[in-house]
Amino acid sequence: MAEPGPGLKAEVEKVDEEKETAAPAPKKRRLAAGERYVPPPRKLRSGVSFSAAHFAETSYYFEGGLRKVRPYYYDFRTYCKGRWVGRSLLQVFSTEFRAQPLAYYRAAARAGRLRLNEEPVQDLDVVLKNNDFLRNTVHRHEPPVTAQPIQILVENDEVVVVDKPSSLPVHPCGRFRHNTVIFILGKEHDLKELHTIHRLDRMTSGVLMFAKTVEVSKRIDEQVRERQLEKEYVCRVVGEFPEHEVVCEEPILVVSYKVGVCRVDPKGKCCKTIFQRLSYNGKSSVVKCLPRTGRTHQIRVHLQYLGYPIVNDPIYNMEAWGPEKGKGGKIGKTDEELLKALVEEHRSKQSLDILGISEEDLNSNAENNDSGNSSECTESVQADPISENSCLAEDIKGSETEEIAAYPLNFNTNLETRGKNTELGSCENEGRQTGQKSSEERDPLCVECKITRRDPSPKELVMYLHALRYKGAEFDYCSKMPEWAMEDWEE
């Protein structure tokens, strides 16, 4: 065999020399007697991809015009937060995760569903340390969405453009995971590793664009930052909208991220929307909307301020806003009173799911009140969903008396006797087409399994706001006009 040339030989000698002079790997510190070892934090993958394993967690079924997700087991994972260090796991659960009673966590620990650094939690009195990694396996239920299919408008080597139905979040957030555009495209259309370019509110339908590569995403993101993209929406509003062009530049402030409510306020962010009436049928008007900025609920809030709310807007056309429904910014309530009135109005109609929240959410109140838990699902996509909710259950806490009232009277007692031999079972039941939960889909520790909720009607899951067109320097994508936007349409 020929001897390596001088150049290659020098490289080999250099590598050998570096190996000899390299600092030795740090030795693991010796633990004191009784001290608990905490492994170093893992490096997380970056990107936006969800794998086939994620898509295979559960399946869909269709019932009453709704797309439903079969309940499934899911791991909420998080690293120990700074404020938890030095506190016991029991103390953290009792103060920060009170959406569930302590009896639930004791039963979950006995069933092996609570893990600390991938080891089953044997004692909830264990004191948490920096870099502790916690995992909580829960039986997860998702709210139903419309059964209307996602229509693919364009697919090429660079982008996927779809017509999103109302009620579907774009990507996993809050209580939604599989009932999202990203998961449906991955599961039913084999479209994976998509990059979100822009977002639509959960209740808004219309043109939604994804990039297939990072390069395309960056290129279009640059156009977004430079405001080179034109967006056009249509909506149907209450009453006779003015025939002339109307421009609204009122600043918008977020009132609650959790419920997803905004209002006009001088302290809000500046924004601008141009409105042009397209038709009037004697009761309601179809209006073209041209947002020049992209604030949360911008079109809806501006229309409410002008006195022409969207006909079936589940937030901004409600009695909770007062007799004038927020026209001209006249509300006559504090933000807290407004939120309470909105929730009570939906609770009386059994329609909290339309807000993307549940009774359990309302019976609790996060320490970081309303921080990034919007019902409209505007958080960023996580590649490895270790921080999809960044919590052990719902990252919520509330008054203990409220929480106990949310469960059957014997719930705590029942949980104390469960969990010892409870193992994670399959939540699949192939071939089942009805909404009844079978024994395979019930979980002995799951509170949601014991609750019967009213399904929303397909009509309740439609809001008359549609993203009609999305135009850039190199593209122009448009969907069909919705049926409700036709000139001769009547309710």
> Which residues are known to be catalytic?
201
Name the phi and psi angles at 79, rounded to 5: -85, 155
In a 3-state reduction of DSSP, which class is residue 93? Answer: helix
Instruction: Provide the token pair at 110.
Output: 């006995």
Instruction: Provide the token pair at 107.
Output: 């039963």
Q: What is the enclosing helix (H) or strand (E) of 63?
A: strand 60-63
Q: Write the secondary structure of 257-324 as one string of H (helix), E (strand) and C (coil).
A: CCCCEEEECCCCECCCEEEEEEEECCCEEEEEEEECCCCCCHHHHHHHHHCCCECCCCCCCCHHHCCC
In a 3-state reduction of DSSP, which class is residue 221? Answer: helix
Task: For residue 403, give the DSSP letter.
Answer: H
Residue type, 205: S
Q: How far is CA 351 from CA 238, 348, 358, 471, in A?
A: 21, 8, 9, 35
**Rounded-to-integer distance, Cα 264 and Cα 171, Å:** 27
> For residue 249, how many C-alpha atoms fall within 13 Å in the half-sphere facing its CB?
1
CA 20 centroid distance within chain = 51
> For residue 58, how many C-alpha atoms fall within 13 Å in the half-sphere facing its CB?
22
Nearest to 47 by CA among 182, 206, 177: 182
- Is the CB of residue 210 less than 8 Å from the CB of residue 159? yes
Residues in the chain: 491
Instruction: Provide the token pair at 321.
Output: 């806003």
**Rounded-to-integer distance, Cα 338 and Cα 404, Å:** 26
Instruction: Provide the token pair at 181.
Output: 């555009």
DSSP state letters, 135-156? EEEEEE----EE-PPPEEEEE-
Range list of H helices, 97-244: 102-110, 181-188, 214-225
Residue type, 210: F
